Amino acid sequence: MGSLCIIAAIPARFYAPGKRCSTMQVLHHTQSVREALKAHRVGGRRIGFVPTMGNLHRAHIELVKIAQSRCDVVVVSIFVNPLQFGLHEDWDKYPRTYAADTAKLRDANCDYLFYPDEQEIYPNGMAEQTRVVVPAMTDTLCGASRPGHFEGVTTVVSKLFNIVQPDEAVFGIKDFQQLALIRRMVEDLCIPIEIVAGEIFREADGLALSSRNSFITAEERPRAAQLNQSLNWIGEQIGAGQRDFAALEAAARQQIEAAGFRPDYVSVCNSRTLQPAADDDSDITVLGAMYTSAARLIDNISLSL
């Protein structure tokens, strides 16, 4: 059996961006974004883009740093996209922390913040909005329990790409399915943007940083890293030669239940297609999601065999 290694995403801490002394501009409209970036584009400056839904934490800022290390100009967007929230999901409860987010981006020397309202993104209303769908990857894994979610993601990201027109865009690898979908969308639609993956940033116990971690109760928090622990356990078993992926998935779900949480799914997948992994696949990603009392947490690990 071949040796096992973890596939590493781009870690921001290994970069040393040059000194940036810009004053961040906040833009609210498509036309103002295009006008602001036109001179940079004509001047041959490389434009990086980090799309977010706000409620920024350390992992978001690290993605900004990755963009800064690779690009001359960095744009961050904040838009809580209603199109990717399901009927009973938490769009109304999703934290809006604009003042704090703006302060963090200014401290990080971000160049531009694009902060549109819903009318700017969906001028004809969401019901009449043209949709962008990646059919092979949309309805599995997180998509199975969040119908319409990824259609909303790919639709809004394609719109943001068309507004900003960056040379590259940086996404966190924690949302691995989202990253795979966007890569496939860019490939299928011949969008001239390089997609860069930033590593997962974690708490000391392994819990992946997420805006939804604020919903974890104090009683649950000491056990909340169980998802990561179970995925790592699967990785260890695969590294030792185990190839009964269904049995590993079932055992991991039992571990999550024993910790007091409800598993959504645990799945061993081909890293590119997100289809169930075959015995001879060399690039594998183990993805999982679980529910706390008020949050749905996701995580993943990738392996090269």
- List, by residue number, the catalytic residues: 60
Burial of 21 per CB tally in 10 Å (0-12, 13-18, 19+): exposed
Supply φ then ψ for residue 25, to 5 degrees: -105, 135
CB atoms within 10 A of CB 301: 19
Rounded CA separation 225/191 (Å): 37
Parallel/antiparallel/unpaired status of strands 47-52 and 73-78: parallel
Q: Please give the structure tokens belonging to residue 44.
A: 């041959």
Q: Which residue blocks in the chain are alpha helix, DSSP H? A: 30-42, 58-70, 98-107, 118-121, 135-138, 142-145, 149-164, 176-188, 226-239, 245-258
Q: Please give the structure tokens belonging to residue 291.
A: 């529910």
> Do residues 1 and 132 touch, judged by C-beta distance below 8 A?
no
CB atoms within 10 A of CB 110: 24
Burial of 187 per CB tally in 10 Å (0-12, 13-18, 19+): exposed
3-state secondary structure of 70: helix
Rounded CA separation 212/96 (Å): 12
